[in-house]
Amino acid sequence: MKARFADWVATADAVRATTKKLEKHAALAGYLSSLEDADLEIAARLLAGAPFPRKDERVLSVGWSALSDVLLQRSGKKGEDMAASYQRHADLGDVAGELIGDTPREGEPLTLGDVAKAFDAIAAARGVAPKRELLRDILRRATADEARYLVKIVAGETRIGLREGLLEEAIARAFGRDREGVGRAHMLTGDIGEAALRAKHGTLDEPTLAHFRPIGMMLATPVLQLEEVGKRFPPPYVVEDKYDGIRAQVHKAGDRVELYSRTFDRITNRYPELVEPLLRVPGSYVIDGEVLAFSEGKAIPFTDFQTRLGRKNVAAELRTKLPSSLVAFDILERDGRALLDVPLTDRQEILRALPLESPVLFARHQRIGTSGEDLVAILEREFAAARGRGNEGLMVKDPRSPYRPGRRGMEWLKVKRALRTLDVVVTAVEWGHGKRRAVLSDYTFAIRDGERLLNIGKAYSGLTDKEIAEMTTYFQEHTLHDYGRVRTVIPDTVIEVAFDQIQPSSRHESGYAMRFPRIVRLRPDKPVTEIDTLETVRQIAGR
């Protein structure tokens, strides 16, 4: 018997209905252990909140207008009903549930297989009309509750995905395995569905790091004061420049090389000048690094380099004007040997044995053995020197640490420019004044608190006129509700905002406000899940 999507929905609802971890685990484990292989794989992926596994490069690309068209059609409601409902829920999935209500569904009830097949077809379809047709077909068959989740997944809402750890733990529990093993298989395969299957069949130990299957990148924790470094772990410290570019994971085997972004997208085409030099390094490897451009030995500001970023295929002209370099700072695999569990010191030795040639370079690095005031003095000097080289600041790493994919820990610390910027997401935009009358140039932005986005400030755009014009079009196409002067927008534009101070304030829902906020740049490389959090804001504000 094929598993009904309705049972998946009931499980997801049960998990959301309780705040108790044990109850969440029990609901999930009971459900997952009841499924056959193919259904288990689909159910686990959907519980993670995404239509496809992490390693998969496919996207649904269903636009906001197609989605709302189909919804209005399915529910028989009007545009203003939808706007009012969005005001209440701020979540398109919940809007779908409310609008559809009791309107009857048609055809056979949905199975998990139907849902997976529909997502495959939508991703494969080219053009708006065919995608809309497919979406209409599946929503016709969905109940209000089912539509609520389908739409959340299609719209990429962050609010359905269970925390990775929670899901891994429930899978471990469902099949009597340990959580570490499930987490490791997930990380290595990039597919929670495959990890669940392996947990079921007792083959969690099999997967190893595979070429051309990117894994999560290790992340760093910000330190707000240099003194803090010494409190995180004892000497020695590995100190590197923090390069301000695009993170890239490079996989090379045989005569193929690929670069992947932190969201697992293949970005090789954007940096064609790196391919040959990377291929010339013999053997196989996976390295972690940053792509950026240098001019006369100094890093070019990210905003200048960024013009290349949005382009899938980079024209020859831009390539000669702003040739990219890759700065390698870590190695995860070499000639068939996985190095994730090898301490950083040893990984760096292996990395530095690679015969790299320009424009592929090694990151500047050194080892510091001191602590206390000496450490702070050295870090201060190094920070200034790194800034002088056009870099963003410093990374301080624990030489004993393994490479922890996708984890943000205390083993990598980042010391950024004057420590006074936050990565935030735009939630609303407003028409400007004077010569900016015709563009949406004032942005309201939010930080993250768990699954919630909380506004923290508003600023005039400090972007270039061209960027503002492009973003104006983008925001017009991604408007949630148009109030005239102001419009709320789909929260998926990440920007970096600089400020002088953060203070408690009742002006914004985060409970904090910034003094002199200014928008520094767009951060298309950063997903909303990785913007700064309320916790960081509290620390900066000191309360």
Stretch that binds ligand AMP, among 34-42, 48-56, 135-143, 238-246 (CB under 6 A): 238-246
- 289 token code pair: 């690094």
Q: How far apart are CA 200 and CA 181, in angstroms?
A: 12
Q: How far apart are CA 91 and CA 231, in angstroms?
A: 41
Nearer of residues 62 and 217 to ligand AMP, judged by Cβ: 217
Distance of closest approach, residue 284 Cβ to ligand AMP, in angstroms: 22
Q: How far apart are CA 100 and CA 91, in angstroms?
A: 14
Distance of closest approach, residue 363 Cβ to ligand AMP, in angstroms: 5
# of chain residues touching ligand AMP (CB under 6 A): 11
Which residues, 315 to 354, sit near ligand AMP by CB under 6 A? Answer: 329
Distance of closest approach, residue 25 Cβ to ligand AMP, in angstroms: 31
Q: What CA–CA distances, in Å, run from 128 to 60, 135, 303, 310, 475?
A: 11, 11, 32, 21, 19
Q: Which of 46, 26, 12, 80 is nearest to 481 (CA)?
A: 80
- Work out whether 415 is an interface residue with ligand AMP (CB under 6 A): no
Spell out, one character per residue from 137 to 166, where the chain touches ligand AMP: x when CB under 6 A holds, - when not.
------------------------------
Q: How far apart are CA 53 and CA 50, in angstroms?
A: 7
Spell out, one character per residue from 358 to 377, where the chain touches ligand AMP: x when CB under 6 A holds, - when not.
-----x--------------
Q: How far apart are CA 226 and CA 413, in angstroms?
A: 10
At residue 81, the 3 state secondary structure works out as helix
Nearer of residues 95 and 379 to ligand AMP, judged by Cβ: 379
| Cβ pair 93, 152 in contact under 8 A | yes
- Work out whether 247 is an interface residue with ligand AMP (CB under 6 A): yes
HEC per residue, 174-222: HCCCCHHHHHHHHHHHCCHHHHHHHHHHCCCCCCCCCCCCCCCCCEEEE
- Work out whether 242 is an interface residue with ligand AMP (CB under 6 A): yes
Distance of closest approach, residue 414 Cβ to ligand AMP, in angstroms: 5
| Cβ pair 411, 389 in contact under 8 A | no
Residue identified by tokens 């048609």 is 106
- Work out whether 91 is an interface residue with ligand AMP (CB under 6 A): no
Nearer of residues 35 and 456 to ligand AMP, judged by Cβ: 456
Distance of closest approach, residue 193 Cβ to ligand AMP, in angstroms: 26
| CA diameter of the chain | 73
Which of 243, 294, 383, 512 is close enough to bind ligand AMP by CB under 6 A? 243
Distance of closest approach, residue 291 Cβ to ligand AMP, in angstroms: 9
Of 242, 252, 397, 416, which is the active-site residue? 242
What is the DSSP code (8-state) at residue 324?
-
Nearer of residues 160 and 220 to ligand AMP, judged by Cβ: 220
Q: How many CB atoms lie within 10 A of CB 73?
A: 13
Nearer of residues 149 and 243 to ligand AMP, judged by Cβ: 243
Residue identified by tokens 């990039």 is 190
Nearer of residues 315 and 385 to ligand AMP, judged by Cβ: 385
Does residue 242 have an active-site annotation?
A: yes
Nearer of residues 3 and 248 to ligand AMP, judged by Cβ: 248
Which residues, 186 to 225, sit near ligand AMP by CB under 6 A? Answer: 220
Spell out, one character per residue from 418 to 457, where the chain touches ligand AMP: x when CB under 6 A holds, - when not.
----------------------------------------
Q: Which of 426, 443, 442 is nearest to 524 (CA)?
A: 426
Distance of closest approach, residue 327 Cβ to ligand AMP, in angstroms: 7
Residue nearest to ligand AMP (CB): 247
Q: Rounded to an integer, what is the distance from CA 233 to the centroid of its chain?
A: 27
- Work out whether 395 is an interface residue with ligand AMP (CB under 6 A): yes
Q: How far apart are CA 301 and CA 290, in angstroms?
A: 14
Distance of closest approach, residue 395 Cβ to ligand AMP, in angstroms: 4
Nearer of residues 169 and 290 to ligand AMP, judged by Cβ: 290
Which residues, 262 to 301, sit near ligand AMP by CB under 6 A? Answer: 290
At residue 95, the 3 state secondary structure works out as helix
Residue identified by tokens 């047709």 is 133
Q: How far apart are CA 380 and CA 406, in angstroms?
A: 29
Question: Contact positions toward ligand AMP, by CB under 6 A?
Answer: 220, 240, 242-243, 247, 290, 329, 363, 395, 414, 416
Residues with catalytic function: 242
